[in-house]
Structure formats: structure tokens, C-alpha cells
Amino acid sequence: MGARFATALLLMTIATPSIAGVLPFDGAFGNAKGCALYSDGAIPDGHGEFYLLTPNTFASYPVQCDFVSSSPDAPSELFANTICRTADGETAKDSMRLIDHGPAGYGIKVVGLDELGPFPACPPKKAGVPTFVVPK
């Protein structure tokens, strides 16, 4: 199951374009593998190592978190409430802090863990690649 299952879980959230995102930006931010998933629809090889942040979702192996709400926490930070799912099928409410690093992108901080990122902006989505949305 592993990475392929987690990626399949992420890809199951692909649907028609979403209305306004929970987070106040367009496009996506991530590392090279996360941006390839967003821009090209390419499934990342191997376990872990992909990070993808969109206005509605944060995904990495083995977790996908859908943003439920967000609010400003500081001039360059947002506090976001999430519902996260793991590759094992566990679901939990959580929260994370999103840190705007300007041209360097966004970082993600979960309580008790080090900041991930910052992740730079991904290239624009290629024609025909579906948009990720939060399932309702």
C-alpha cells in the first residue's frame, strides 16, 4: 500500500475546479515532487519526500490534510484548522500554522514539530491536469 496508496488517496480528491480556497493564495507551493504532482499530475516515486500545499489541502506521505478554516495569527502567519487522513485510514482534527516567507514561499508548522519548508511556488498547472479540491 505505502506511497502509492497515499497518492491514490490524494488523487481521489481531484474533481472540478474549486470555488475560493480556504487559504488566501492561488496556485500551489511544494518541493519538486509535490509540484510535479500539482503541475503535471505525476505520481511521486518512493516513500515520502513530496510536499504539496494548495489553498485547500496540504499533502505529504503518509498524510493529507484538508483545510477547514483559517485566520490571521500574525502579520506573516495564518492559523489553519484541518482534518487530516493517513494512509492507514486514520482521521483526526488538527491545526497548523502557515508562515509566509515572501518570495521563498510558505512554511508549515504543526504543533510540536519543526517547520517544514519554506516551499516555493509551483509552476502553473498544465492544460488538462485536474484541480485538487476539498471533498465535501
What is the band of 103 on the pLDDT scale with cuts at 50, 70, 90?
A: very high
Is residue 38 within 8 Å of residue 52, measured between CB atoms? Answer: yes
How do residues 39-80 score in pLDDT, each as one tens digit?
888 777 765 688 999 989 999 888 899 999 888 777 788 889
Q: Cell numbers at residue 87, please?
A: 494512509
Report the percentage of the chain scoring pLDDT > 70.
77
What pLDDT score was predicted for residue 133? 43
Between 58 and 13, name the one with better pLDDT: 58
Report the C-alpha gap between 114 and 85 in whole angstroms: 20
In this predicted structure, the answer to whether residue 136 has a pLDDT above a threshold of 60 is: no
Which phi and psi (to 5°) does residue 112 adopt?
85, -5
**End-to-end CA, the chain:** 25
Which phi and psi (to 5°) does residue 58 adopt?
-120, 130
In 39-133, DSSP assigns E strands to 51-53, 57-60, 63-74, 77-86, 91-100, 106-110, 116-119, 131-132
pTM greater than the 0.85 cutoff? no
